[in-house]
Amino acid sequence: MGSQVTLTTLYKMKEKGEKIVALTAYDYPFAKMVDESGVHMILVGDSVGMVVQGESSTLPVTMDEMIYHTRIVSKAAGHAMIVGDMPFMSYQASIEHAIANAGRFLKEAGAAAVKLEGGRAVSETIKAISGAGIPVQAHIGLTPQSVHQMGGYRVQRNEEQLMADALEIESAGAFSVVLEGIPSEISEKITKALAIPTIGIGAGPHCDGQILVLHDLLGLNDRHLPKFVKQYANLLDDAKTGIKQYIEEVQAGKFPAKKHCY
């Protein structure tokens, strides 16, 4: 599968036109599965709020929760780069607060980088965090932490604004950028304009890499899936089948059988 993925690996992949494959993970067993499958980057996303905690947005997720999830994911990773997602209000209030919180992901949780949402509005923050030696991945387009400001989870189509955001966050020192909910033609132009890798989600095929929420890809939740998701497995149904069989066997006195007894 190869050695540990670093920033150099990602830059070389962009240069050679090799696609970067990223997924989210939130705990040890799933992170191990993702890492051993050969994914290049694991994002411990604040989507944990919606996927694992049952919240209706990512806004309630706290720094301590993100540190916990990132720490248990990091233990599983031997190959993939681990990126910790900075939760809502962990980097907006002041640059000092943002640097301190970003540092916790590396110091306490074993991440190699952090991600934060926003374009030009957070470029000074990106500059300061990367200036402190912490690699920063930016995230523009549909930024879920701004759901109320965007008036819902809406595709972002303002090419001029998106390009200006992308160019400025690159100048500020971001090592990569997630493009979410952006028409393919705009993502293609941004990907060509930037030297840093673009990782798309709902942003078409021209990005340097792709990311999906793991639980969506595996069919592990029954929430409404956005158009951009492809479900590659149906683990929810498989799991329910197994659990129902267990219930039937316990009630019928078939489990535990002799071989399960001391």
Residues lying near ligand KIV in the complex (CB under 6 A): 24, 43, 45-47, 85, 139, 178, 180, 201, 211, 213
Q: Name the catalytic one among 117, 170, 180, 188.
A: 180
Q: Closest Cα partner for 229 from 207, 214, 241, 240?
A: 214
Q: Which is nearer to ligand KIV, 13 or 140 (CB)?
A: 140
Q: Which is nearer to ligand KIV, 134 or 178 (CB)?
A: 178
Positive or negative torsion for Cα 70, 68, 72, 181: negative
> How far is it, in rounded angstroms, from Cα 114 to Cα 67?
11
Nearest approach, Cβ of residue 118 and ligand KIV (Å): 12
> How far is it, in rounded angstroms, from Cα 147 to Cα 142?
8
Q: Closest Cα partner for 50 from 222, 177, 203, 227?
A: 222
Nearest approach, Cβ of residue 126 and ligand KIV (Å): 16
Has 180 been annotated as catalytic? yes
Q: Which is nearer to ligand KIV, 25 or 172 (CB)?
A: 25
SS3 211: strand
Provide the token pair at 171: 């100048």
Q: Which is nearer to ligand KIV, 170 or 180 (CB)?
A: 180
The alpha helices in 174-225, defined as continuous H runs, are 184-193, 214-217
Residue nearest to ligand KIV (CB): 45
Q: Which residues are catalytic?
A: 180
